[in-house]
Amino acid sequence: MSTELISLDGTPASPLAFGTMQFGGRADAAQSAEMYQACRAAGVTHFDTAWVYTEGRSEALLGQLIREDRDSLLIATKVAYTGGAGPDNIRRQLDQSRARLGQDMVDILYLHRYDEETDLRETLACLAELRNAGQIRYLGLSNFAAWQVMKAIMIGQEFDLRPAILQPMYSLLKRQVEVEILPMCADQGLHVAPYSPLGGGMLTGKYSRAQQAGHSRGRLDEDPRYAERYGQPWMQDSARALADLAAELEVDPASLAVAWAAAYGRNVTPIISARSLAQLRPSLAALEIEMTPDLYARMSALSPRPAPATDRLEEQQ
């Protein structure tokens, strides 16, 4: 049932994807190019952007960087975070994305979030037309609940259009997707490209170090959404415990965090990101981590496991 994600020349998707949200924002053109080249050297073939990122600069920079390698890459972008998921908005944003990327086609087009105001049948009919016109190859869904994904699968049958990949938030600090979303993806043969495997940077250990030094720590200080998302006290405890484990193993905590997210199961490709090459290197080093069952269990025990999707707790193993 699973759709194999491959590039135009048949190159399979890499174990990690790189998210270019910082391109043209916190990362300037030179820093973006450095990170892109480091990803390519590490074998990364899957690059993720969005119409809404850095007012289009992310797509434009990525488009410049991919020219020589295009046919061996998977390029993903997203539409309809703003403006709704109606056909006119989807077409307009995709046209702009393709122009910025310098491409007639994108490999993966995500609906950036679920739109309650638009009939999903209308949205999927438009996406099927874009697929048939050769403007997209795979359909992706981002930030969709499990029931919303299944709704898209069922309606999509009318148009011979099936989602191929889902992009949820997932990290050692954000595990809700283990309840229904990840099991659903495994059952339905969907690829998963989880974002924020470093928990907004908290799992790198930098926030504890910065707090001790008394200086600014990053997005958790700069962005109220991140401060709320990762503001529960136990999260600091889990991050410190991960740092202690990393010190014991003589590896970077970011490497462990990314490797843990990737180890959930087959077809799970975490999206790593950074604002500089120095910040990126520990995430790329996750490729070198041997995630044994014992290490995976030790890491999983560092944060609360979410409750199952049933109240019949006595029947849960």
Give the model's pLDDT for residue 24.
98
Confidence (pLDDT) at 213: 45
Q: Does the pTM exceed 0.95?
A: no
Class of domain 17-201+252-291: alpha beta
Distance CA 170, CA 101 (A): 27
pLDDT at residue 232, rounded to an integer: 87
The token duo for 55 is 């007012």
* Predicted confidence pLDDT, tens digits, the chain (317 residues): 677 899 999 999 999 999 999 999 999 999 999 999 999 999 999 999 999 999 999 999 999 999 999 999 999 999 999 999 999 999 999 999 999 999 999 999 999 999 999 999 999 999 999 999 999 999 999 999 999 999 999 999 999 999 999 999 999 999 999 999 999 999 999 999 999 999 999 999 875 554 544 445 556 666 677 677 888 889 999 999 999 999 999 999 999 999 999 999 989 999 999 999 999 999 999 999 999 999 999 999 999 999 888 887 676 65
20 vs 35: CA distance, rounded Å: 9
Query: Tell me, what's the pLDDT at 215?
Result: 47
